[in-house]
Amino acid sequence: MPSSQTPSAEAPLPSERRARLIARVRETGSARVSDLSRVLGVTPVTVRRDLALLVADGTLEKVHGGARIPARSAGLGAYTGASTGIAQPDPASAGRVDQLTIGMVVPSIEYYWPEVIRGARDAARGEVRLILRGASYEVDQVRRQVAALVGEDGGPGVDGLLVAPPVDGPEAAELGEWLAGLSVPVVLMERRLATGPYREPLESVATDHALGSGVATRHMAERGHRRVGLVTSRTSPTSAAVRRGFLAVADELGLDVVVDLETVPMFDADWADEAASVLDRCAETGATALIVHSDREAISLVEQAQERGVRVPADLAVIAYDDEVAGLADPPLTAVRPPKAAIGAGALELLLRRLAARADAMASPGSDGGDAVTGADRPVHRIELSPRLIVRASSAPRG
């Protein structure tokens, strides 16, 4: 917010002030605008203008809320094709009382999401404090965890949120409206939601799962398979996109989709019966290749197929979706690998940019704080990352 502090009557000349500013940053390793404003005796707006000039000529490097002596930046170029510019802070800055605090709410901390969490953690380094909460795929659980983080129940009062909420059904829509109305910015991970009367999207970083299953389908066709199938989990938010991509490419290539089934997750008591039904269906239709979401179900299906005398991949090729543990199967499973670490890192970067835009808007002359959450005129970003197909032994060429 604009400071009520007025410049000293003996304020230094701009050149002297900037020299003192540089000296302060060199002394502390990095410094925030509020600290520099206090030390120099000028308004935050003046400090920001000086920083902009010093960053432009390469003297300093901008970080969220302040500046530091130029250091090598880390990015997501391997996944997005461009550097993100997340500055790596000095280790001594870890644990600062003025560092940002970001809440992170994920459905699970045991499968898929640990890699996403690691990506956000590695991108944060010591510059940002992450508070992790595991919820579930239930709307009430997600809402309770988010409410605790934003301070409704005496929680830490985070500066922003990374959330993977449910997205299907009226309760999920209500949750999306609630998230959009929070006093802190929110970025969704591996989810997309639109809110309000005009269905405006929330910011998000997600994998193009339809592309991933489409690539897997093309791989099956290239290996000579014409009678193909798909097995997805009826409880997974990813299944709809996986199915959409599979059916689109199968139709484009003229493949015969002879199996298209949803099953319970492997940890469900009915899994064994449903897995047997999948294999029965494959035998009845002559399916020679399956895409299975996710790894656990794919590995279990392979084991049950082998017990029936069905050879993988000679009789039935199998491609898993997620690539958490697919490479440890026997045979190792070809799998689609979402860029999970890049999802976490990209979501954090997007949130930090939103927070920076919000801070700039609040510090601008004449600002009334009305753009505090939206970040002035910064557009809503919806980032989509591409998964990779990791080819292993379970999808050898037919025949």
Are the CB atoms for 292 and 318 separated by under 8 Å?
Answer: yes
Instruction: Please give the pLDDT value at position 97.
Output: 44
- The band of 272, judged by pLDDT with boundaries at 50, 70 and 90, is very high
Residue 357 in tokens? 């835009």
In the three-class reduction of DSSP (H, G, I as helix; E, B as strand; rest coil), residue 178 is classed as helix
**Averaged pLDDT for residues 227-247:** 96
Question: Which is more confidently placed, 252 or 40?
Answer: 252
Distance, CA of 150 to CA of 380 (rounded, Å): 21
Strand partners, 262: 232
Q: Regarding beta strands 186-189 and 388-390, do their DSSP bridges make them parallel or antiparallel, or are they unpaired?
A: unpaired
Residues 58-83: pLDDT tens digits? 778 777 677 777 643 333 222 222 22
**Averaged pLDDT for residues 209-222:** 98
Residues 119-155: pLDDT tens digits? 999 999 878 999 999 988 889 999 999 999 998 655 6
- Distance from the first to the final alpha carbon of the chain: 69
